[in-house]
Amino acid sequence: MTRLVESYAMDAIEADADRESKIAAQQVKQFIADMENAVAERYPPVARARTCG
């Protein structure tokens, strides 16, 4: 996990990211929703399994 974070941290340093900004929860939720929709569209059995589960 440390290594993974450092990998993205390098991009954040390069981009001079705003480290004080609030957690981007809404963007993350939207991203996950988009991914789930994409999976449901391409792999309907997976979406059905989630619904049944």
Partner 1 sequence: MARVTEVSEGGSVPELAFENDAGCRVLLVDGEEFGRRTPEPGAQPLDPGRGEEQGGDSGLLRRAGALAVCLADVRLGKSVTCTQRRGRKKMAQVTHSLRSAGTRHSDQSRIWESIADKAECMASYSETSAMADIYEQQQTKLKEYASAFAPQDFQVGAVFTINGRVVGADLFDAPRPSASS
27: amino acid identity, one letter: Q
Output the DSSP codes for the chain. Answer: -HHHHHHHHHHHHHTT--TTSPP-HHHHHHHHHHHHHHHHHH-HHHHHHHHH-
Told to check if 2 binds partner 1 by CB under 8 A, we report yes
Quick check: 39 binds partner 1 (CB under 8 A)? no
Among 20, 31, 37, 45, binds partner 1 (CB under 8 A): 31
CB of 1 to partner 1, least distance (A): 5
Residues that bind partner 1 in the complex, under the rule CB under 8 A: 1-15, 17-18, 21, 24, 27-28, 31-32, 35
